[in-house]
Amino acid sequence: MRAIILAAGMGLRLLQPEDKQSPKCLLKFDGMSLLERHLRMLAAAGITDVVLALGFHHEQVSQELDRLNWTPRPRIYLNPEFNLGSVLTLHVTAEAMTAGGDVLVMDADVLYDQRIFNALVAGETANRLLIDRDFEVGDEPVKLCLRDGVPVELRKQVMVGLEYDTVGESVGFFRFNEATAARLADITRDYVESGRARMPHEEAVRDLLLERGAQFETADVTGFPWIEIDYPEDVKRAADEVLPQLEPLTMVSE
């Protein structure tokens, strides 16, 4: 299994001072960066083939890897146009998506419980989504809608009249088997070649779900603590509310 961590964005909504701007994956909670938490959780599951899709201040991420002395060192794919949409960031990792085996695609800016990760990686091979049914209603969460267990929507704005029986927030982590990962690479390439590079990568995943939704299973992680960090108030909530609820992280020697 291979993990692709998307960490190219500028994080403008965090309102960081210009002289202190850094990728969100370097935010630290209890002295550990989000990146280190990702790596430790992956290593605990035996996943050492890790790809970092970087852009904004990518040299700072390289410095964090130097500090951690993490081995095997994650491979880095750079998106020089990181100010465009995240679908372009996913596209630059096409080689990793099509190299065989199951592929995890994970947002870097998430603080999450190990039980959420365990639900993602359980089993030998799978197409898997994660859903949290306890979410704040609004325009910000990416909604995952299911009908009879089959995903029928993955967007912030749900189309009026859409029929579904379950709705929740997508955690931002996806698992694809070999064939499905290769198909996602094709879809993202089409986005870029057709002038849609400014779109979020969830749009490409959405197209995949509408095409192959019956091939996906959905793990319900409702009740497990996690937070996607976009705004300054999210940083505070992560530290004050989410971090204290997390199960102790399995520590693996790098």
Q: In order of start, what are the domains of the chain with their CATH numbers?
A: 2-245 (3.90.550.10)
pLDDT (tens digit, 9 = 90+) per residue, 154-163? 999 999 999 9
Residue with tokens 């949290």: 132
pLDDT at residue 53 greater than cutoff 60 = yes
Give residues with Cβ within 8 angstroms of 7, minimum separation 6. Answer: 23, 24, 25, 35, 52, 53, 54, 61, 108, 109
Percent over 90 (pLDDT), the chain:
90
Token pair for 70: 């993490």
pLDDT reported for residue 254? 41
Entry pTM = 0.95
Is the backbone peptide bond immediately before 72 cis, with ω within 30 degrees of 0?
yes
Task: Write the Ramachandran bin of 70: left for phi over 0, alpha for psi from -120 to 50, otherwise beta.
Answer: beta
Average pLDDT of span 8-18: 73
Q: What is the rounded CA–CA span in Å between residue 40 and residue 38?
A: 6
pLDDT (tens digit, 9 = 90+) per residue, 209-219? 999 999 999 99
pLDDT at residue 101 greater than cutoff 80 = yes
pLDDT reported for residue 21? 82
